[in-house]
Amino acid sequence: MSNGGRERRYRAPIWDEPIVMEMGAPGRRGFVPPATDPELAAATGPREDLVPAAMRRAEPPALPELTEFEVQRHYLHLAQETLGMLGVNLFGTCTMKYNPRLGEHLTARPEIAAVHPLQDEDTMQGTLAAIHGLDLILRELSGMDQFVFQAGGGADAAYTNTCVTRAYYAARGELERRDEVITTIQAHPCNAATAAAAGFKVVTLTLEEDGYPSVEQLRAAVSERTAALMVTNPDDMGIYNPHIKEWVEIVHAAGGLCFYDHANFNGVMGKLRARELGFDACMYMLHKTFGAPKGGGGPAVGAYGCAAELVPFLPRPLVRREGGRFRLERDAPQSVGKVREFWGNVPQIVKAYGWARAMGGDGIEAASDLSVLANNYMEDRLLAIRGVTKSHPQIGARRLEMTRYSLGTLTEETGVTVLDVENRMVDYGVDAPWLSHEPWIVPEPFTPEPGELWSIEDIDYWIDTLARVCEEAYADPELVKTAPHEQVIHRLDAARIDDPDYWATTWRAYLRKHGPRDRVPAGASGA
Amino acid sequence: MDHQVDDSGRRRSTVGLVVNPIAGMGGRVGLGGTDGDARLRRARELGAEPAAPRLAALALGRLAPLRDRLTVLVAPGPMGAAVSAGLGLATTVLGAPPAAATSAADSRAAATAIAAAGADLLLFAGGDGTARDIHDAIGGAVPVLGVPAGVKMYSGVFARNAAAAGDAALDFLSAPGPGRLRAAEVVDVDEDADGPGRVRLYGELRVPAERSRLLAAKSRGAGDAEADLDRLAAAVVAEMEPGRLYLLGPGTTIGRIKERLGVDGGPLSVDAVLDRAAVGSGLGEAGLLALLDQHPRASALLGVVGGQGSLLGRGNQQLSAAVLRRLGADNLTVLAAADKLLALQTQRLHVDTGDPEVDRMLSGYRRVRVAPGRTIVIEVGT
Ligand SMILES: Cc1ncc(COP(=O)(O)O)c(C=O)c1O
């Protein structure tokens, strides 16, 4: 996106088309199938009878009638009107990476695309080899003894951990007593949430002067009721807790397990191993750190790894190598069962495997260095912008792959908030920055993360854009407060956003709540 | 709340405005506050300029998007009408002009008149003193929101700044309702006292709960924190042990427990229950000690005061060093909304019982209950 440091013009396309349900005209078709061959019809009977009467609709569904071309055009326009991922995107805590086309080609192959998890193992040895291959790579990076890829995202992997923890103590007859999970206010909220979902009580530690809870605070919190510690390190402010090894020792001494939410792995890849710090389990996000496409909760993968002692409790199946052959271990007596169906998102696993093999050990370490370097380069430039400060400015240590900043000063001085700034940045063709995970302990927060992907020109352009918007905030706050001006839509009226009588997430609900809109002319976009 | 509806089906709203025109004047010339004639005179001599009218106008100006469905109710002259004039908002002036020098009585009269005329929200510009005047005049009858314009603003009723007050008012008026309100403390700071012993809980007002800052992206709103506290209050009541005495401290959080038990001696009162029935209300130190004599197996339930993070020694002095010594540190349960704890200026809670030994006994890391099954660990010190 380099343009010699020059500010670029940007204007998003506006199509202003009706909803697809309102488009089209009776009789239009995308595809007209040929009439049934008479011989075939004679053999099968009337087409209508192929669907049993009880399952047939009394009325045809109320679908719009359009030509294939009209549908294509409409969705292309909608795609052009999306607000993100097309410019420079430094979306913090998400470690934005390019997803190589090669991964798409690999996973489109029939060995992946057409495989069924219940088919004979001998007919899918290649797929199993890829899963096993990534397992070995992650073991090498973490020091753990086994990975499972069933979880559909990072939070799901955290949930896997709470299930494993529960099963572990149940097997030891300690579950009644060990009913507390300790986490920190800066650990990703999924840690507290999944602990609660698994029935644990949640004890949250608060930050102290250094930007993390003190060792003494942890000591005060652990007890014979501690089941587990669940932490993120570095946290989403980029602060690394250097006492983490001592933390693990304290929790172990109290008889608890330790789980490392390793979603923020980019800044420490190849630099440390969770197991060597003493952790019993960890998770990586393949859709974040390992170059696979995003899509939390669904088409993603939280890779959960653990030490040998916990392997009996892992969800099944696991891919095992025996002799020269891969097989699926489909069940185990102490397994927690499944956290999701089958083996997880295999195409994602294959893409991550491809990424890791292409990067190699040295490449992964170099990427880590680059992402920390780029973040610290950004930090020096961003802190020079009027109105920008960083969280916990008193901490001397460098942040790792991201830094939490604050526009609190800008807001105090101009009334322009970080949400306004986000809305204005998109006017320059860069994507709005990530703000903060819950809880919002830093006022007007934002959190860029450059990772290893973006070039220095992209990073500079992003910083220049923020600097310009901050200048605008001081010179002409209304301009920023009324942004975006160059985007597809202006601002949503949020007044009734939590009024269930108003919003509708389906067309049917829309009609029910608002009645039909004025009929739009057939064909829609015309020109 | 009753809302008129205009032709296009949108609600009409009414907002009241009370400006304390002299608020804040003491601060900028280095005087503690502006209450008291002598202080005000001195502030004027030192060249203080009134800032509250400007800040009030800034806040009110943010309501411009509601222009065609908003009525502003104001007191005459500098207490309101002078501020709202020129903003292009439909305005009704209530009452007679105040005397040349406005007083606390004028603030109270204006608030009373606005409440009587039926406002959805009352904006006031001033400091803690003004908040107390509003509290005295109308209590919780009308939701209020403070435009910070005073010297001391320790009460939880103020927005972060004038623009934020206007924005919060706009947000609330666009979709008002009792579910959008939270109780907030009004405090009294004794400026002539030394040290941290100055803050005292004075009462409560209802303010619009700030909705999540990610408003446009998601609408979790204030409901979560409110629901957490309600569920927590229910859990605490359900867990109460038979035969154990529970001392219920002042404040809005513990107020939820009192409400469930039907033992409300008011927001500032320390009450006591045994087997979920009241055995004392509005208790002082002597009453508490007498109850503890009868029922040595006892716990105290405490909230946290405002942005200061005070746990003991501010507004709950009845729970004296002697009472606390009798209870023991392990029998204190602290309850607070997670947001409130995390918003503390320093992530610490303070005790000031007047007895260093008891303060020491209460110091260290303590778990605060924020919802059923959820605690936050926080450092307690002096
Ligand atoms: C540190 C951390 N842990 C867990 C998660 C949750 O992952 P997912 O969104 O895939 O469920 C995230 C998401 O960004 C994260 O940053």
- Report the CATH number at residue A220: 3.40.640.10
Q: Is the CB of A285 under 6 A from ligand 1?
A: yes
- Residues A257, A335: one domain? yes
Tell me the β-bridge partners of A290.
Answer: none
Give yes or no: residues A397 and A351 share one domain: no
Under the banding of pLDDT at 50, 70 and 90, the label for residue B216 is very low
Both tokens assigned to A204: 């949250």
Q: Identify all chain B residues contacting A221, using CB atoms and an 8 Å cutoff.
A: 365, 367, 377
B234: closest CA of chain A, how far (Å) = 17
How is residue B328 written in tokens?
Answer: 């023991």
Write down the mean pLDDT value for chain B: 83
Hey, are the CB atoms on B375 and A204 less than 8 Å from each other? yes
Per-residue confidence at B38, pLDDT binned at 50, 70, 90?
Answer: confident
Q: Which atom of ligand 1 is nearest to the CA of A93?
A: 16
Q: Would residue A378 count as lying in a domain?
A: yes
Tokens of B49: 């300029």
| A319 and A282 within one domain | yes
**Of B214 and B369, the one with more pLDDT:** B369
| pLDDT above 80 for B272 | yes
The structure tokens 């690999």 sit at A106
User: Rounded to the nearest 10 degrees, how much is the dihedral formed by the CA atoms of B150, B155, B161, B162?
Assistant: -60
The answer to whether A199 touches B373, Cβ cutoff 8 Å, is no
Tell me how close the Cα of B63 comes to any Cα of chain A, in angstroms.
13
How many A from CA of A303 to the centre of ligand 1?
12
Instruction: With beta carbons less than 8 A apart as the criterion, state whether A248 and A277 touch.
Output: yes
CA of A261 to the centre of ligand 1 (A): 8
| Span from the CA of A338 to the centroid of ligand 1 (angstroms) | 20
Is the confidence at residue A146, as pLDDT, over 90? yes
Are A196 and B374 within 8 A, CB to CB? yes
Span B247-264, mean pLDDT?
92
Looking at A332, A358, A384, which one is the last position of a domain? Answer: A358
Q: Kindly determine whether residue B375 and residue A441, on different chains, have CB atoms separated by under 8 Å.
A: no
Cα separation, A150 vs A154, whole angstroms: 11
Interchain pair A201, B219: CB under 8 A: no
Using the 3D structure, point to which of A341, A358, A375 is the last residue of a domain: A358
Determine the residue among A497, A499, A501, A503 to mutate to test chain B binding: the one whose Cβ has the most chain B Cβ atoms within 10 Å: A497
Residue in this structure with the two tokens 């506050």, named with its chain if needed: B33
**Whether pLDDT at A351 is above 90:** yes
Going by C-beta distance under 8 Å and a sequence separation of 6 or more, which residues neighbour residue B140?
Answer: B183, B204, B205, B206
Residue of minimum CA distance from atom 9 in ligand 1:
A296
**What's the pLDDT band for B221 if we cut at 50, 70, 90?**
very low
Q: A522 pLDDT band (50/70/90 cuts)?
A: very low
> How far A217 CA lies from chain B's nearest CA (Å)?
6
Q: What are the pLDDT digits (tens) for B288-338?
A: 999 999 999 999 999 987 666 888 877 788 899 999 999 999 999 999 988
- Tell me, yes or no, whether A308 and A434 share the same domain: no
DSSP SS3 for A146: strand
Answer yes or no: do B374 and A202 touch at CB < 8 A: yes
Question: What is the model's pLDDT at position B199?
Answer: 62
> Does the residue A513 lie in any domain?
no
Half-sphere exposure at residue A317, Cβ-oriented, CA atoms within 13 angstroms: 19
Beta-carbon separation of A213 and B377 below 8 A? yes
Q: What is the mean pLDDT of residues A104-118?
A: 93
| Residue A94 Cα: closest atom of ligand 1 | 14
pLDDT band at A438 (very low <50, low <70, confident <90, very high): confident
Residues composing chain A: 527
- Ligand 1 within 6 A of A155 CB? yes
Query: Is residue A353 domain-shared with residue A373, that is, in the same domain?
Result: no
- Whether A495 maps to a domain, the answer reads no
Residues A386 and A353 in one domain: no
pLDDT at B5: 57
CA atoms within 13 A on the CB side of A490: 6
Q: How far is B62 from chain A (nearest CA, A)?
A: 11
CA of A94 to the centre of ligand 1 (A): 8
Cβ of A127 closer than 6 Å to ligand 1, yes or no, is: no
Q: Are residues A289 and A266 in the same domain?
A: yes
In angstroms, the Cα distances linking B98 to B101, B112, B123, B150, B364 are 8, 14, 19, 20, 52
Is residue A279 located within the same domain as residue A187? yes
**Least Cα separation, residue B363 to chain A (angstroms):** 12
Question: What is the C-alpha to C-alpha distance for residues B187 and B135, in angstroms, rounded to an integer?
Answer: 11
Asked if B373 lies within 8 A of A196 by C-beta distance, the reply is yes
A341 lies in the same domain as A377? no
Q: What is the mean pLDDT of residues B99-105?
A: 76
Q: Which of B13, B55, B213, B376 has the highest number of chain A CBs within 10 A, making it the mutation to test binding with A? A: B213
Measured distance CA(A2)–CA(B360) in Å, rounded: 61
Ligand 1 centre to CA of A285 (Å) is: 7
Q: Which atom of ligand 1 is nearest to the CA of A297?
A: 11
First to last CA, chain B: 44
Q: Indicate the number of domains in chain A.
A: 2
Interface test with B, best of A184, A185, A413 (most B CBs within 10 A): A185
Q: Is A124 in the pocket of ligand 1 (CB under 6 A)?
A: no
Closest partner residue to B219 among A207, A435, A498, by Cβ? Answer: A498
> Ligand 1 center to residue A297 CA distance, Å?
9
Query: Which residue's C-alpha comes closest to atom 7 of ligand 1?
Result: A154
Q: What is the gyration radius of the CA atoms in chain A, in angstroms? A: 27
pLDDT per position as a tens digit, A25-35: 999 999 898 88
Residue B349 pLDDT > 50:
yes
pLDDT at residue number A3: 47
Q: Domain holding A466: CATH number?
A: 3.90.1150.10
Residue of A94, A97, A156, A190 to mutate, ligand 1, most atoms within 8 A of C-beta: A190
Pair (A211, A305) in one structural domain: yes
From the list B373, B353, B352, B377, the residue with the least C-alpha distance to B364 is B377
Q: Please give the pLDDT value at position A175.
A: 96
Find the mean pLDDT for residues A239-267: 97
- The DSSP call for residue A448 is B
A190 lines ligand 1 (CB under 6 A): yes
- pLDDT level of residue B180 (50, 70, 90 thresholds): confident
Mean pLDDT, residues B238-243: 97
Reported as a single tens digit per residue, the pLDDT across A355-387 is 999 999 999 999 999 999 999 999 999 999 999
Task: Give the ranges where chain B is alpha helix by DSSP (H).
Answer: 25-28, 37-45, 52-61, 81-84, 104-117, 128-138, 162-174, 223-239, 252-261, 285-294, 321-327, 338-342, 356-362
Within a domain: A514: no
Contact residues on chain B for A217, CB-CB shorter than 8 A = 365, 377, 379
Residue A111 has pLDDT above 70, yes or no: yes
Interchain contact, A201 vs B365, CB within 8 Å = no
Measured distance CA(B312)–CA(B359) in Å, rounded: 9
Residue A46 is assigned to a structural domain of this protein:
no
Q: Do B339 and A439 touch (CB under 8 A)?
A: yes
pLDDT (mean) for B194-206: 68
Q: How far, in Å, CA of A211 to CA of A344, rounded?
A: 36
Structural domain includes residue A135: yes
Q: How far is the CA of B90 from the centre of ligand 1 (A)?
A: 49
Please give the sequence-ordered ranges of beta strands (E in DSSP) within A8-107, or none if there are none.
Answer: none
B163 has a chain A CB within 8 A of its CB: yes
Query: Mean pLDDT throughout B366-374?
Result: 96
Sheet with B70-74, strands from edge to edge, namely B90-93, B70-74, B13-19, B121-126, B144-148
Predicted pLDDT of residue B215: 33
Do A213 and A281 lie in a common domain? Answer: yes
Determine, yes or no, domain membership for A75: no
Average pLDDT taken over every residue of chain A: 92
CB B205 within 8 A of CB B139: yes
DSSP letters, A255-268, are T-EEEEEGGG-GGG
Our CA-based measurement puts residue B187 at a distance from the nearest CA of chain A, in whole angstroms, of 24
Distance, in Å, from the CA atom of B76 to the CA atom of B98, rounded to the nearest integer, reads: 7
pLDDT at B340: 81
pLDDT band of A523, cuts 50, 70, 90: very low
pLDDT value of residue A401: 96
The domain boundary residue, chosen from A310, A327, A358:
A358
Q: Which residue in chain A has the smallest CA separation from B170?
A: A495
- Are the C-beta atoms of residues A160 and A167 closer than 8 Å to each other? no
Tell me which chain A residues have a C-beta less than 8 angstroms from the C-beta of B59: none
B375 CB neighbours in chain A (<8 A) are: 201-204
Q: Is the residue at A116 inside a domain?
A: no
Say yes or no for a CB contact (<8 Å) between A203 and B364: no
CA of A414: which chain B residue's CA is closest? B163
Evaluate if residue B182 carries a pLDDT over 50: yes
B339 Cα: distance to centroid of ligand 1 (angstroms): 22
Residue A498 has pLDDT above 80, yes or no: no
Please name which of A251, A85, A97, A81 lies closest in space to residue A182, comparing C-alpha atoms.
A251
Q: Is the pLDDT of residue A240 over 60?
A: yes
Confidence of residue B276 (pLDDT cuts 50, 70, 90): very high
B211, B219, B347: residue with CB nearest A206: B347
What does the DSSP 8-state code read for residue A450?
-
CA distance A419 to A432: 9
Phi, then psi, of A185 in degrees rounded to 5: -65, -20
CB contact under 8 A, B367 and A208: no
Ligand 1 proximity of A296 Cβ (cutoff 6 Å)? yes
For residues A280-288, average pLDDT: 97
Q: Quick check: B216 and A439 CB within 8 A?
A: no
Domain with A192, as residue range(s), is 104-110+121-358
pLDDT at B226: 79
Among B62, B334, B342, the residue to mutate for chain A (most A Cβ within 10 A): B342
What's the start-to-end Cα distance of chain A, in Å?
A: 31
Q: Strand locations in A105-223, DSSP E?
A: 146-151, 180-184, 201-205
DSSP per-residue codes, B97-137: PPPSS--HHHHHHHHHHHHHH--SEEEEEE-HHHHHHHHHH
Q: Is 0.90 topped by the overall pTM? A: no
Q: Are residues A300 and A164 in the same domain?
A: yes
Residues of A with CB under 8 A from a CB of B: 185, 192, 196, 200-208, 213, 216-217, 220-221, 411-412, 415, 417-419, 435, 439-441, 443, 491-492, 494-499
Helix A125-142 vs helix A346-382: angle between axes, to the nearest 10 degrees?
30
